[in-house]
Amino acid sequence: MAEPLSASEIEAKIIEAVADQLGIAKEEVTRDSEFDKICDSLDKAELMMEFEDLFEISITDEAATKLATVADAVSYVERALKGA
């Protein structure tokens, strides 16, 4: 059985996915980056789908609207993986 990802590993994967999706440097994305300030609603929806694929989890539309920052996404993924 694979060892669960640590919070820092989850954060690194999310930051990389955000940077790749938006075509920006990873250094420009932090835990405090707000999705509404760095991307439009279509990009955010695509990011949520990317997170679902990347971590093999499900993110409901309701949950996605509450994920305002990268830190929020990290916390959500951590909880989802523990519940899986």
Model confidence band, residue 18 (pLDDT cutoffs 50, 70, 90): very high
Task: Return the pLDDT at 70.
Answer: 98
pLDDT tens across 30-80, in order? 999 999 999 999 999 999 999 999 999 999 999 999 999 999 999 999 999
Q: How far apart are CA 60 and CA 67, in angstroms?
A: 11
pLDDT class of 84 with cuts at 50, 70, 90? low
What is the number of helices (H) and of strands (E) in the chain? Answer: 5, 0
Of the candidates 55, 53, 79, 54, the one whose C-alpha atom is nearest the C-alpha of residue 66 is 79
Displacement of CA 72 from its chain's centroid (Å): 8
What is the pLDDT at residue 51? 98
CB distance 37 to 66 below 8 Å:
no
pTM over 0.75: yes
**Residues involved in catalysis:** 40
Please give the span between the terminal C-alpha atoms of the chain, in angstroms, as a whole number. 13
